[in-house]
Amino acid sequence: MTSPDHNPSPSPNGSLLSLHGPEFAADPEGVYRRLRAYGPIAPVELSPGVPGMLVTDYQVALEILRDQVRFPRDARRWQQGIPSDCPVLPIMAYRPTCNLTDDPLRSRLREAVTDTLDRVDHNALRTFVERSANRLVGRMSPLGEVDLRTEYALVLPLLVFNELCGCPAELGERMVAAVREVLKWENSEEANMTLGFAVLELMALKRENPGPDLTTWLMDHPAELTDEEVAHQIVMLVGAGSELAQNLIVNTLRLLLSDERFRGGLSGGSLSVEDALDEVLWTDPPLANFGISYPVEPLDFHGVRLPADQPVVISFAAANNDPATRAEDRAGNRAHLSWGIGPHACPAQGQARVIATVAIERLLDGLPDMELAVPAEELTWRPGFIQRALSSLPVRFPPAPGPPQPLPGDPYPPAGPGAVAEPPAGPAAEEAPMPRPPARWWRRLANWWAGDTA
């Protein structure tokens, strides 16, 4: 193993390899290969002027993910030295959520989130996703050519989120749009505030009109989460349930439409959508680098010196493809790290698989002759070290007769030529106005979200 003392930087010119910018987005595996030459953990630049340590070794990643003592998740000591306008701060900063905290708080929050998600009926979820997907396919089918990211994979998780959380369409769109802005790392501080205020509006709505939804169940859970804790669990759920679900769907569709092993499977071959999902979770996971911990004191760990209070980031993508553990045939193998593992493993992975699988199956059934509109190598990836996300996924197919139809209450009206912009009909068109939050409650939470804890 190479010692850091003999190779102080993975870059020949002595600078840290960057995990931000278009170069990394275009070829992350090339960066991971260079970092592996350094050892199982290598120093990187997460954002301009923000150093970190990236774990690329599968076994070392397992060890860190299971060790809450040496590798705590609390970012507060680290973020004291980070400027408030740092673009990665809204993603990496401490939040009282079950994935960014340590015990005993983690266990209490995790219990509330897990119990709440367990109340979701998987059959009802599958039925809702099928119905929504069929309607989206129906509005796209006359167009002949669409961007599946914006017209399908972005819309469907939003519809599901709104349904599960009892969220009005306009408010859900505002939340998801804010998440997208945060992950662009442009004006992310402002987007974080927009996201927080939208979540508080949803909670105010559920205080006045509770229902059989995730928001109400979290607020009423026996663990008695504070308003602040509820707000942050919702932020966690909307982030994972919108952007990461979108990326999982898009990355899997890219594989199905570009890899000959799966192209044959689209018309009844031996490789299924589930196989494609597992392949993507191994090779192009939507959450590429996260699971961040912050050692409270310097550590000598697997021959690498880890500074205190500096982020240790798990590269799920690199660890999954560690040459030391990679197998040629991964069919049916779900030992990847893409959902995390140990005490901070994703609590919603069952629901995420249902949403992604049904979304892809319905699309392939509805548009069986679909193909990429550009060569796969010309597709571009969005910058950012955390997610693996395509900028677009243009496809073409024989158009069906008739104009596309809008969905009732759809926050994204059809964008193609000939789209019919009719007002939505039925109950969705008559949503009750948002109740005004109690002044003291709103002011306290708004001030707290803005950082005023006095």
C-alpha to C-alpha distance for 395 and 393, rounded to whole angstroms:
6
Give the contacts of 422 (CB within 8 A, at least 6 positions apart): 405, 406
Q: Which of 248, 212, 276, 222 is nearest to 351 (CA)?
A: 248
- Is-contact 35 17, C-beta < 8 A? yes
> Reduced to 3 states, what is the DSSP secondary structure of residue 44?
strand
C-alpha to C-alpha distance for 312 and 377, rounded to whole angstroms:
32
Counting Cα atoms < 13 Å in the Cβ hemisphere of 266 gives 23
Residue 41 has pLDDT above 60, yes or no: yes
DSSP 54-99: EE--HHHHHHHHT-TTTS----HHHHTTS-TT-TTHHHHS--SSTT
Measured in degrees and rounded to the nearest 5, phi and psi for residue 119 equal: -80, -10
Residue 170 has pLDDT above 90, yes or no: no
**pLDDT band at 174; cut points 50, 70, 90:** confident
- pLDDT tens by residue, 315-335: 999 999 999 887 666 666 778
- pLDDT tens by residue, 393-438: 999 999 988 766 655 545 454 444 333 333 333 333 334 444 455 5
Domains of the chain, earliest start first? 17-449 (1.10.630.10)
| 425 compared with 274, residue with greater pLDDT | 274
C-alpha to C-alpha distance for 294 and 82, rounded to whole angstroms:
14
Please, what's the largest Cα pairwise distance for the chain? 69
DSSP bridge pairs for 299: 306
DSSP 416-437: STT---PPP-SGGGGPPPPPPP
Average pLDDT of the segment spanning 312-316: 97
Per-residue pLDDT at 116: 96
- pLDDT tens by residue, 67-107: 999 999 999 999 999 998 888 888 898 999 999 999 999 99
